[in-house]
Amino acid sequence: MNPPSRSLTTPYSTTTIRVPIYPRSTNLTPDWAYNNSDSKKVFASLKQTFNNGWELNLSGSHTEATMDSKLLYIDGYFAKSTGIGIGPYEGYDLLGGTGYNTAKRKEDTADAYVTGPYELFGRQHELMAGVTYIRQHDRYVSASTSFTSADVGDFNDWGNYPEPDWDDQALSQDNVIRQKSAYLATRISLADPLHLILGARYTQYNANTLTQNMEKNNITPYAGLVYDINDTYSAYASYTSIFKPQTYRNAQGAYLSLVTGKSYETGIKGDWMNSRITASLAVFRIEQDHLGATDYALVPGSTDYAYYEQNGTVSKGVEFEINGAVTDNLQMTLGATRYVAKDGEDAALNPTQPRTSLKLFTSYRLPMLQDLTVGGGVNWQTHTWDNVAGPGGTSTLYAEQGSYALVDLFGRYQVTKQLSVQANLNNLFDKTYNIDVGRNTVYGEPRKVSISANYRF
């Protein structure tokens, strides 16, 4: 499947549609469809502190996850008057849109590093060195079916689509990914107010699948300068080389190339009352190649979206955050982000992500009842949008989700020193919004209440 156009200019006619379109209660899932998943994880860590100020840290984990699903995806454009034109996703036999799928994932991770001070040229510096190992094994088996993409009837009167007779399941993906890395970083004290940070990571990456064998080795350097203006403010600038594996796959099931690029950042930080209140303001620029963008297809034999690679992408923006204890009982966090992002053809990059976002969170411990803490927050974001192909590829549809704010509340009571109980109320005003602008309409969670207990040994 070719990626949809991201440009606002098109030789075809353009229609604007605003989403969500249907009520949040709309459910197109037939009775027989399901998607079950289960995950188990064990982990351990060890920390050893030595008399000379050095530390040794060891950690490891093992995770196993399983998935079992029978799914039906519908596709097409129906006539408003008759509701005719919708059928099972036409790519089911190639792209896994409709199918019977099972999968198992195993992941092992291990990390070891040492950190501590050292002296050189009469000044004290800091050093960190470590190694990391990650192994991930994914195995998918799937079955399609021989039914055709016949219309399912009047979409205005959507009913239950009968479960088809599935073919025998067969191996569709068998992926083993290994990543080994070693890293070294040091913080050098050039002068009392000036520090230089230097580091590098060496990575060996290997991905073996049914369709590809990819091996990549890379040395990723990074550097930064920190200048303490006074006891309150410090300024910094940093550079980082990017070499990042992607878990995205394309419509043929092959993993995308690793993301490469460069990242630049400069800013200023503030610290008041022995870190009771901190603030930061940063300006950044990120240049990346092979960056994954959704293809609006599904990976063969799975429920994952397929992605394609974009080169020459540039993201730049500004971030601000202030947080801390306003009083002994009142904690507050305020943050804002604004950025623009474009691909190699100067068109909007991933416009399904908000360009401006604001967040405000507070918590207040009642002076007359010290065991009770109440609080809440609001997250606001600007509109998101995307261009998608219309019927027969003869037009472009402009899909948009307008800006919105979500308000959350919480209350926590410390029953004993070890036991606490907390209640959360998310999406206080029951806002209806779409989190998957583009081909699909996927609603965010409605108003939700949850209660949890936490016991510390």
pLDDT tens digits for 412-428?
999 999 999 999 999 99
pLDDT of amino acid 89: 65
Surface-to-core class of residue 140, CB atoms within 10 Å of its CB (0-12 exposed, 13-18 middle, 19+ buried): buried
pLDDT of amino acid 162: 79
Q: Which residue has the tokens 């507050």?
A: 332
The answer to whether 252 touches 300, Cβ cutoff 8 Å, is: yes
Q: Which residue has the tokens 């920390």?
A: 47
Half-sphere exposure of 12 (CA within 13 A, CB side): 18
pLDDT of amino acid 9: 33
The answer to whether 236 touches 229, Cβ cutoff 8 Å, is: no
pLDDT of amino acid 397: 78
pLDDT of amino acid 254: 79
pLDDT of amino acid 7: 32
How does residue 79 score in pLDDT terms, banded at 50, 70 and 90? confident
157-171, 342-356, 369-383 — which is least confidently predicted?
A: 157-171
The answer to whether 7 touches 345, Cβ cutoff 8 Å, is: yes
CA-to-CA dists, residue 15 to 1, 323, 387, 390, angstroms? 22, 44, 10, 9
For the segment 73-94, the average pLDDT, to the nearest whole number, is 69
The CA distance from 433 to 406, in Å, is: 10
The CA distance from 253 to 242, in Å, is: 24
For the segment 49-53, the average pLDDT, to the nearest whole number, is 93
Statement: residue 65 has pLDDT above 70: yes
Statement: residue 362 has pLDDT above 60: yes
Assigned token pair, 53: 């100020």
Cβ atoms within 10 Å, residue 75: 16
The answer to whether 301 touches 251, Cβ cutoff 8 Å, is: no
Q: Which residue has the tokens 């550097």?
A: 223
| 156-207: pLDDT as tens digits | 777 777 788 888 888 888 989 999 999 999 999 999 999 999 999 999 999 8
Q: Which residue has the tokens 């006539």?
A: 79
| Per-position DSSP letters for 239-289, written without gaps between them | EEEEEE----B-TTSPBPPPEEEEEEEEEEEEEETTTTEEEEEEEEEEEEE
* 57 CA to centre of own chain: 27
22-26, 228-232, 297-301, 377-381 — which is least confidently predicted?
A: 297-301
- pTM higher than 0.75 for the full model? yes
pLDDT of amino acid 6: 32
| Per-position DSSP letters for 76-126, written without gaps between them | ----TTT----EE-TTHHHH-SSEEEEEEEEEEEEEEEEEEEEEETTEEEE
* 4 CA to centre of own chain: 22
For the chain, how far is it from start to end, CA to CA, in angstroms? Answer: 54
Q: Which range, 158-162, 276-280, 431-435, has the best average confidence (pLDDT)?
A: 276-280
The answer to whether 200 touches 183, Cβ cutoff 8 Å, is: yes
Percentage of residues in the chain with pLDDT exceeding 90?
Answer: 56
pLDDT of amino acid 301: 61
Statement: residue 377 has pLDDT above 50: yes
Which amino acid type is present at position 103?
Answer: A
For the segment 432-446, the average pLDDT, to the nearest whole number, is 82
The CA distance from 308 to 438, in Å, is: 16
CA trace torsion 388, 391, 393, 398 (10° rounding): -30
Contacts of 335 (CB under 8 A, 6+ apart): 319, 320, 321, 322, 323, 358, 359, 360
pLDDT of amino acid 74: 77
pLDDT of amino acid 153: 76
Q: Which residues pair with 104 in a beta bridge?
A: 66, 139
The CA distance from 320 to 279, in Å, is: 8
The CA distance from 166 to 146, in Å, is: 8
Assigned token pair, 361: 């969170």
Q: In 3D, which of 105, 100, 138 has the Cα closest to residue 38?
A: 105
The CA distance from 415 to 2, in Å, is: 58
Q: In 3D, which of 201, 196, 228 has the Cα closest to residue 217?
A: 201
pLDDT of amino acid 439: 62
Q: Which residues pair with 115 in a beta bridge?
A: 55, 128
The CA distance from 405 to 407, in Å, is: 7
How does residue 150 score in pLDDT terms, banded at 50, 70 and 90? low
pLDDT of amino acid 294: 77
Q: In 3D, which of 386, 391, 378 has the Cα closest to residue 436?
A: 386
Half-sphere exposure of 356 (CA within 13 A, CB side): 6
How does residue 354 score in pLDDT terms, banded at 50, 70 and 90? very high
| 93-113: pLDDT as tens digits | 333 456 788 999 999 999 999
The CA distance from 43 to 39, in Å, is: 13
For the segment 16-20, the average pLDDT, to the nearest whole number, is 49
Which has more pLDDT, 172 or 359? 359
Cβ atoms within 10 Å, residue 96: 28
Q: How many helices (H) and strands (E) does the chain have?
A: 1, 24
